[in-house]
Amino acid sequence: MPELPEVETVRRGLTQLVEGAKVNTIDVLYPKMINVSEKEFKDVLQKHQIIRIDRRGKYLLFRFDNDMTLVSHLRMEGKYDVEPDGTEPTKHTHIIFHLDDNRELRYKDSRKFGRMYLVKNGDEKTLSGLGTIGPEPTDETLTFDYMKSIMNKARGKIKPFLLNQSNIAGLGNIYCDEVLWLTSIHPETQTNLITDEEIEALRKNIIAEIKMAIKGHGTTVHSYSNAFGEAGQFQNHLHVYGRKGEPCERCDTLLEKIKVAQRGTTYCPNCQRKVVE
């Protein structure tokens, strides 16, 4: 389940491996994965060079030398591998970019949930997910004033609020549970009742958590690995996610798991008290 730190780790790995590489031909084994026809996908990208790989939230943006961008979202299980030409594709291999140096960039996805979108440079905003995406969780872009203004208007629960990518880019289920525990906020607390002090603490925890997770190359839950096939190390730092029934590290109360907006949610019933009107 790649969230922002995992996607950033993939971006860095791919930059080392394929920045500057030229795509000779492309095999599209699962056409539903792309937003244009197989023919257009190939016609636009074949014989062109990947000049840079950017990231926005959980989206990867492959910049090509013809002013086109291939936007890629990994969703739950998507991953990229770079392999020598001619390696037998697995049943989870869906797109193969044959490079001109006897290597292949392969997109694999056991759930087939991932999607790729081909757009002109600058047209990224026309995509539903990217058009309304919120600020990146960094100290410069995620300001207290912004957080306060959107949180004071929100009447729903804080957890779905944080998962909404148009509020803040990049948080998923894992880091969401983590930052709420770190800030001692119950996931079902009504967003507009969170105090200014808590907003600032939450902001700081989000920024620090994402930064630390990127440093640790992301989380390994299920089958996540980066472009080099390395597992992330961040799972060693998780305080609540996947720890239902274990004692809270702050107060020893057993962690509980509930459903919030249909998502599994682990929290400490003692130090995360619900606040509602």
Partner DNA sequence: CACTATGTTCCCAC
Partner DNA sequence: GGTGGGAACATAGT
Under the binding rule (CB under 7 A), the answer on residue 239 touching DNA is: no
**Per annotation, catalytic residue among 11, 55, 58, 157:** 58
Q: How far is CA 229 from CA 112, 220, 226, 236, in A?
A: 19, 12, 5, 18
Pick 184 or 192: Cβ nearer DNA:
192
262 makes contact with DNA (CB under 7 A):
yes
Residue 274 annotated as catalytic: no
Residue 98 Cβ vs DNA, minimum distance, rounded to whole Å: 23
In the residue annotation, 2 being an active-site residue is answered as: yes
Q: Which residues contact 139 (CB under 8 A, 6 or more apart)?
A: 207
Place of tokens 């062109």: 48
Contacts of DNA in 199-228 (CB under 7 A): none
- Rule CB under 7 A: is residue 55 a binding residue for DNA? no
Query: Which among 103, 53, 58, 105 is positioned nearest to 81, based on CA atoms?
Result: 105
- 235 φ/ψ angles, rounded to the nearest 5 degrees: -60, -25
Residue 165 interacting with DNA (CB under 7 A): yes
230 is catalytic: no
Whether 273 is catalytic is no
User: 135: which 2 tokens?
Assistant: 């600020």
Q: Where are the beta strands (DSSP E) in the chain?
A: 22-28, 48-56, 59-64, 68-73, 79-84, 93-99, 103-108, 115-120, 256-260, 263-267
> Catalytic one among 2, 5, 137, 160?
2
Binding residue positions for DNA: 92, 111
Residue 160 sits in the site that holds DNA (CB under 7 A) = yes
Amino acid found at 207: I
Q: CB of 127: closest distance to DNA in angstroms?
A: 7
In the complex, the residues that contact DNA under the rule CB under 7 A are 1, 3, 32, 57-58, 73, 75-76, 110-113, 127-129, 153-157, 160-161, 163, 165, 172-174, 191, 261-264
Enzyme catalytic residues: 2-3, 58, 263
